[in-house]
């Protein structure tokens, strides 16, 4: 995984395949250990760059009016329930 360092830190040079454990902001590392890279990304110290970067998730489709919670089917069910309650009283 290819990552770009956003913040400087003292890290694991072996997992980053770096010369020193002192990592500076702006450095880019190729072929970083996947688990270590995800830890750095999760902490906000790095971000994934390059072709290996995963595609953004697709957005969801907006609901149709009849799929909304207050759609026609729900209103009809509520009216039917109200009539039954009113008849028994």
pLDDT by residue for the chain (89 residues), tens only, comes to 899 999 999 999 898 988 999 999 999 999 899 999 999 999 999 999 976 555 555 677 777 777 666 655 555 565 665 565 555 55
C-alpha to C-alpha distance for 69 and 34, rounded to whole angstroms: 42
Cβ contact 86:78 at 8 Å: no
pTM: 0.55
- For residue 55, the number of C-alpha atoms closer than 13 Å in the C-beta half-sphere is 3
Q: Which residues pair with 47 in a beta bridge?
A: 4
Q: What's the token pair of residue 4? A: 């770009």
């Amino acid at each position: 995984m290819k990552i770009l360092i956003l913040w400087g830190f003292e890290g694991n040079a072996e997992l980053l395949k770096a010369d020193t454990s002192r990592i500076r902001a702006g450095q880019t590392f190729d072929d970083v250990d996947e688990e270590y890279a995800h830890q750095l990304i999760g902490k906000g110290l790095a971000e994934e760059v390059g072709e290996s970067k995963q595609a953004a998730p697709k957005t969801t489709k907006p609901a149709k009016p009849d799929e909304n919670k207050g759609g026609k089917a729900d209103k009809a069910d509520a009216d039917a329930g109200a009539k039954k309650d009113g008849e028994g009283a």
